[in-house]
Structure formats: structure tokens, C-alpha cells
Amino acid sequence: MAEKEIDKKGIVKVLVFALILAFLVIGVLGWQYRRIEKEQVPALEERLDQKSAEVVLEKFMHARIQQNEKTAVTYLTEAAVEQKNKNEFSLLGDYKTYEILNQDKLPDGRSRFGVKIYNEDKTNDWVEVIILTKVSDQYYIDSVEMGG
């Protein structure tokens, strides 16, 4: 009978040890998750946000290259439409291809891209600085200026 009690005590000790070990592992994993969340998740969100802006820019540029004014205008904010109406930039033209030279996140949250545009015969190229702004979780072209 004493032997059975010893076995029960041994089993209880093993179970208590296993529970303590499980709680320690859960605590360490939780600590690591919080650390990763604080350090890496914001950086990942920033990269995804920049990629979203780049995708909108690419759609806008493809619409311009395809001479599809109706589609290209859908990517413009009111400010960019005013620029277009004042002939501060050409929405459509002799565009053949483009290259994104750089992109920056501005302090006000907008994204700025340097875009090199090539004409039909690729003998002439120019740079535009295109600024995108986020409106209700969607990016739009807010400004198009000739680069210098």
C-alpha cells in the first residue's frame, strides 16, 4: 500500500513539473512574440503600405501608356486633376515605357516616386516626381511634377 502512495506522489510531482514547464514555455514564447510584434510588424506594415502605393502607381502608368484617359483619371485626386486641367503635366502622350527610379515616404505619410518615362522610340526620356496620398485605405495620385 505504501508503494502505491509513492507512485501517486511521483505521478503528481511529474504532472506539477510538466505544468510549470508548460507555463514557462508559454511565457517565453509570449515574450518573444511581443518583442517581434513591436520590432518587425510595423516594418512589415510599412513595406506593405509602400508596395500598395507602388501598385497604384504602376496601374496609373500602364493606363497612361495604353492611352486610356478614363482609367488614368480614376487614380487622381482633386488636386492632381486641377494640375492636369492647368496643363502642369500631360496625362497622356507618346509614352512607351517607364522605370521607377526611387521611392520615399514623406513625413506627412504620403509616398513620393521618381519615375523615368521613355517615349515611343526611346530617344527622349524625362523624369516625373509623382506623389501619392492615402484616402480611405486606397492610394491616389496627388501630384505630378517634372523632375529636375
pTM exceeds 0.75: no
Q: Return d(Cα 76, Cα 95) in angstroms, integer.
A: 18
| Range 66-78 burial, b when 16+ CB lie within 10 A, else e | eeeeeebeebbbe
Average pLDDT over residues 40-47: 73
The tens digit of pLDDT for each residue in 74-92 reads 999 999 999 999 999 888 8
Question: How many C-beta atoms lie closer than 10 Å to residue 140's C-beta?
Answer: 20
For 17, counting Cβ atoms within 10 Å of its Cβ (0-12 exposed, 13-18 middle, 19+ buried), the class is exposed
Question: Measured between alpha carbons, how far apart are the two ends of the chain, in Å?
Answer: 94
Architecture of domain 41-146: Roll (3.10)
pLDDT band, very low/low/confident/very high, at 6 (cuts 50, 70, 90): low
The tens digit of pLDDT for each residue in 107-145 reads 888 999 999 988 877 677 889 999 999 988 899 999 999
Strand 125-135, strand 138-146: pairing: antiparallel
> What angle separates helix 41-65 from helix 2-39, to the nearest 10 degrees?
40
